[in-house]
Amino acid sequence: MTTFSTIFSNPVFLNFIKGPMVWLSFIIFGLGLIVQTFRLLKLTQIKEARRVAPEEDLSPQTDLSGWERFTRYLAFRRVSVLGSNACLVLISVIFHVCLVVTPIFVMGHNVMLDTSFGINLISFPEQISDILTKFVIAGGLIFLMRRLFLRRVRMISTVNDFILLFVAVAPFLTGFLAYHHIFNYQVMIVLHILCGELMLILIPFSKFFHMVFFFISRFMIVSEHSMGTPKRSWQF
């Protein structure tokens, strides 16, 4: 711990990871996202939808009674992932929302933005950020447990999955520990910066890219389960 402290309190190292490294990771993150999204979109094309039913059958029925709508919803629930894995879907949604929202609205980040550039963004009160961070850590723990102990998940898990789960949760864990001054604050905050930068750099080039792929695949590609009014299809 003491050796870490000496390296982590080295002003040259500190200035590098707090300055150029932040810019670099944000540039790699931004450009990477643009390039990878463009590459993904190049695999798709706007195509005339294949007619599978007469037009009037495709339009949603509007003359259904409330009861009919309710029973249809129940039938949909029964066969959909919401019915079979309601708990996991809920945990997953909470995890992902907190994962994205917390870093944007955490007060510590916004104070730095304000002092550096005078950009004043809305922040959550510290207690709320703290709770959201706990949600992320708890979600990560649940996902880890599933991967380790649920046979169906373990059978398709690779080392990569564990690494990425760790990379996703590490910034939150170190941020949490630093905020609560558990262990050495200086070490934790440096690890927090490094983990955050690592995550940003990895997003466009790893399975983290599902943050873009999900929206393209579900909202822009025509398929049985697509949402919205997509017009594109894959052109492999």
Partner 1 sequence: MGTTTEINTDTIQSILKQNKKQIKLGLAMCAHCSLCAESCFLFVSHDNDPEYMPSYKFINSIGKLYKKKGKVSRQVLEDMRDLVFEKCALCTRCYCPFGIDIPALITLGRNVCRSQGLFREYDREW
Interface with partner 1 (CB under 8 A), residue from 96, 109, 207, 231: 207
Token pair in block for residue 108: 């510590």
Amino acid, single-letter form, for residue 231: K
Task: Residue 46: name the closest of 236, 221, 226 by CA.
Answer: 221
Number of Cβ atoms within 10 Å of the Cβ of 160: 10
- Give me the count of residues in the chain: 236
Task: Residue 189: name the closest of 4, 3, 29 by CA.
Answer: 4
CB of 173 to partner 1, least distance (A): 20
CA distance 183 to 112: 23
User: Is 44 an interacting residue with respect to partner 1 (CB under 8 A)?
Assistant: no
User: Is 184 an interacting residue with respect to partner 1 (CB under 8 A)?
Assistant: no
Token pair in block for residue 210: 């599902």
CA distance 144 to 163: 11
Closest to partner 1 by CB, 152 vs 181, is: 152
User: Is 234 an interacting residue with respect to partner 1 (CB under 8 A)?
Assistant: yes
User: Is 16 an interacting residue with respect to partner 1 (CB under 8 A)?
Assistant: no
According to CB under 8 A, which residues from 128 to 167 bind partner 1?
146-147, 150-153, 155-158, 161
User: Is 10 an interacting residue with respect to partner 1 (CB under 8 A)?
Assistant: no
Interface with partner 1 (CB under 8 A), residue from 189, 201, 217, 232: 217
Point out which residues bind partner 1 (CB under 8 A).
Answer: 40, 43, 80-81, 84-85, 88-89, 92, 146-147, 150-153, 155-158, 161, 207, 209-210, 213-214, 217-218, 221, 223, 225-226, 234, 236
